[in-house]
Amino acid sequence: MSNRRVFILGGANTDFLGKGNPNFIWKNHPDFGKRENPTLEEQLKAAVDLCFAETGIDPTLIQRGYVGNFVGELFSKQGHLGAALAGSHPALAMKPMTRTEGACASGGLAMLCGMDAIKAGSDVVLVAGVEVQSNESARVGADYLARAAHYARQRSIDDFTFPALFGRRTKAYRAAFGVTEEDIGRAAVKAYGNANKNPLAHMRARKMDLDTAAASSEKNPTFLQNAEYAPFIKMSDCSQVSDGGSALILVSEEGLRKLGKSMYDCIAIVGTGHATASLYEDSDPTVLSTTAHAVGEAYKAAGIAAKDVRIAEVHDCFTVTELMMYEAMGLAAPGHGGDLLREGATDIGGKVPVNTGGGLVGFGHPVGATGVKQAVEIWRQMKGKCGAYQVASTPGIGVSVNMGGDDRTTVVGVYRNVG
Ligand code: CAA
Ligand 1 pocket check for 150: Cβ under 6 Å = no
Tens-digit pLDDT profile for residues 11-44: 999 999 999 999 999 988 999 999 999 999 999 9
Domain 6-135+242-263: state its class.
Answer: alpha beta
**Which amino acid residue places its CA nearest to atom 14 of ligand 1?**
223
Mean residue pLDDT of the chain comes to 98
Are 119 and 255 in contact by the 8 Å Cβ rule? The answer is: no
Residue 378 has pLDDT above 80, yes or no: yes
Q: What DSSP letter does each residue of 154-223 carry, written as one string?
A: HGGG-SSHHHHHHHHHHHHHHHHHT--HHHHHHHHHHHHHHHTT-TT-TTTT----HHHHTS--SSS-B-
Are 305 and 299 in contact by the 8 Å Cβ rule? The answer is: yes
Cα–Cα distance measured from residue 369 to residue 104, given in angstroms and rounded to the nearest whole number: 8
**Band of residue 221 on the pLDDT scale cut at 50, 70, 90:** very high
Mapping DSSP to helix (H, G, I), strand (E, B) and coil, where does residue 252 land? Answer: coil
Are 185 and 338 in contact by the 8 Å Cβ rule? The answer is: no
Q: Which helix (H) or strand (E) holds 9?
A: strand 6-13
Which pLDDT score is estimated for 28?
86
Tens-digit pLDDT profile for residues 259-280: 999 999 899 999 999 999 999 9
Residue 419 has pLDDT above 80, yes or no: no
Pocket test for ligand 1, best of 104, 162, 237 (most atoms within 8 A of CB): 162
Which pLDDT score is estimated for 33?
92
For residue 234, the CA-to-ligand 1 centroid distance in Å is 9
Q: What is the dihedral of CA 223, 228, 231, 233, to 10 degrees?
A: -60
Count of all residues that appear for the chain in the document: 419
**Band of residue 157 on the pLDDT scale cut at 50, 70, 90:** very high
User: Cβ neighbours of residue 337 under 8 Å, at least 6 residues apart?
Assistant: 322, 323, 324, 325, 326, 327, 331
Residue 81 has pLDDT above 80, yes or no: yes
Cα–Cα distance measured from residue 272 to residue 412, given in angstroms and rounded to the nearest whole number: 5
Provide the pairing of β-strand 244-251 with 6-13. antiparallel
Q: Which atom of ligand 1 is nearest to the CA of 404?
A: 53
Are 371 and 110 in contact by the 8 Å Cβ rule? The answer is: yes
Look at residues 314, 70, 10, 20 and name the one whose alpha carbon lies nearest to residue 187: 314
Cα–Cα distance measured from residue 192 to residue 29, given in angstroms and rounded to the nearest whole number: 22
Ligand 1 pocket check for 325: Cβ under 6 Å = no
Tens-digit pLDDT profile for residues 230-270: 999 999 999 999 999 999 999 999 999 999 999 998 999 99
User: Cβ neighbours of residue 409 under 8 Å, at least 6 residues apart?
Assistant: 102, 103, 105, 109, 274, 275, 276, 277, 290, 403
Q: Which atom of ligand 1 is nearest to the CA of 225?
A: 13
Tens-digit pLDDT profile for residues 306-345: 999 999 999 999 999 999 999 999 999 999 999 999 999 9
Mean pLDDT of 161-189: 98
Q: Which helix (H) or strand (E) holds 414?
A: strand 409-417
Residue 282 has pLDDT above 80, yes or no: yes
Mapping DSSP to helix (H, G, I), strand (E, B) and coil, where does residue 301 land? Answer: helix
**Which amino acid residue places its CA nearest to atom 34 of ligand 1?**
138
User: Would you list the domain boundaries of the chain?
Assistant: 6-135+242-263
Are 327 and 338 in contact by the 8 Å Cβ rule? The answer is: no
Give counts: helices (H), strands (E), the chain.
15, 9
For residue 191, the CA-to-ligand 1 centroid distance in Å is 18
Are 232 and 218 in contact by the 8 Å Cβ rule? The answer is: no
* Beta strands in 254-405, from DSSP E residues, in sequence order: 267-276, 311-313, 397-404
**Which amino acid residue places its CA nearest to atom 39 of ligand 1?**
138
**Band of residue 2 on the pLDDT scale cut at 50, 70, 90:** confident
Could you give the percent of the chain with pLDDT greater than 70? 100
Cα–Cα distance measured from residue 406 to residue 208, given in angstroms and rounded to the nearest whole number: 26
Tens-digit pLDDT profile for residues 388-400: 999 999 999 999 9
Ligand 1 pocket check for 139: Cβ under 6 Å = yes
Ligand 1 pocket check for 38: Cβ under 6 Å = no
Tens-digit pLDDT profile for residues 50-60: 999 999 999 99
Are 252 and 122 in contact by the 8 Å Cβ rule? The answer is: yes
**Count of alpha carbons within 13 angstroms of residue 257, beta-carbon side:** 4
Say whether pTM exceeds 0.75. Answer: yes
User: Cβ neighbours of residue 78 under 8 Å, at least 6 residues apart?
Assistant: 40, 41, 72, 84
Cα–Cα distance list, 269 to 29, 128, 145, 273 (Å)? 42, 16, 30, 11
Ligand 1 pocket check for 335: Cβ under 6 Å = no
User: Cβ neighbours of residue 34 under 8 Å, at least 6 residues apart?
Assistant: none
Count the neighbouring beta carbons within 10 Å of the beta carbon of residue 388.
10
Which pLDDT score is estimated for 127?
99
Ligand 1 pocket check for 223: Cβ under 6 Å = yes
Cα–Cα distance measured from residue 197 to residue 32, given in angstroms and rounded to the nearest whole number: 26
Which pLDDT score is estimated for 222?
98
For residue 344, the CA-to-ligand 1 centroid distance in Å is 28
